[in-house]
Amino acid sequence: MTKVERRLIADGKTYEVACAVRADGTTSPVARFLDELKGKRWVSQLDADEQIRAYAWVLAAIEYFADSGDFPHVGDWNQLMNGIWEIKHWNLRISFFDTDGLGNFDPKVTQRVYVAGGGYCPLPEFDEFIRLGTVFEKRTAKTPSAELALAAQIRNEDLAHDKG
């Protein structure tokens, strides 16, 4: 049984998607982001109307993913590193990982497939529980190493809550 309460975003036919929780047992970067985005208070380059549209898109994409195991469009996701993936919308990024709910993590990695217009990493079959880890605005071609490190750290902190 989990020792923390996570904000549930979607409990679909395929996955349960919830916000990861930091080591303190209460802080959740994605939960805070969603609250700020919904309230048009997220400090970013997005104006108020764009924040509302982004909020609606994120929730719809996550619900679709939870139900179908896929995202609405190729390009809505990307593989980052060592089983950490990201949801992509405009320049917004939300990292995520999967777990069995018992604190275990088995990295799911796929090989990039190239098609006309670019390439993508096919989504693997994830474990039942998806946790949303971090949020950032991507401003460079590559994901900053500090963001990758933070996503891995939050994954480790979140999984520790489930270990018995």
DSSP letter at 128 equals S
Whether 36 is in a domain gets the answer: yes
Whether 3 is in a domain gets the answer: no
Phi, psi of 20, deg, nearest 5: -65, 155
Query: In Å, what is the CA distance from 137 to each residue of 84, 90, 157?
Result: 17, 9, 22
DSSP helix, strand, coil percent of the chain (3-state; round to 5): 30, 25, 45
**Encoded tokens for 12:** 């679909």
3 state SS of 121: coil
pLDDT in single tens digits along all 164 residues of the chain: 457 999 999 999 999 999 999 999 999 999 999 999 999 998 888 899 999 999 999 999 999 999 999 999 988 999 999 999 999 999 999 999 999 999 999 999 999 898 877 788 999 999 999 999 999 999 888 999 999 999 999 999 999 999 96
Whether 70 is in a domain gets the answer: yes
Whether 121 is in a domain gets the answer: yes
Distance of CA 118 to the CA centre of its chain: 22
Whether 1 is in a domain gets the answer: no
Whether 122 is in a domain gets the answer: yes
Whether 16 is in a domain gets the answer: yes
Segments forming the whole domain that contains residue 39: 8-162
Q: 59, 9 in Cβ contact below 8 A?
A: yes
According to DSSP, the β-strands at 129-137 and 16-19 are parallel
d(CA 47, CA 124) in angstroms, rounded, equals 34
Looking at residue 164, its pLDDT comes to: 65
Looking at residue 2, its pLDDT comes to: 59
Reported in sequence order, the residue ranges of the chain that DSSP labels E, i.e. its strands, are: 8-11, 16-19, 77-81, 84-89, 92-99, 113-115, 118-120, 129-137
Number of domains comprising the chain: 1
Whether 2 is in a domain gets the answer: no
Q: Which run of H or of E encompasses 144?
A: none
CA 32-12-29 angle, 5° bins: 15
Axis-axis angle for helices 48-68, 29-38 (nearest 10):
130
Q: 55, 34 in Cβ contact below 8 A?
A: yes
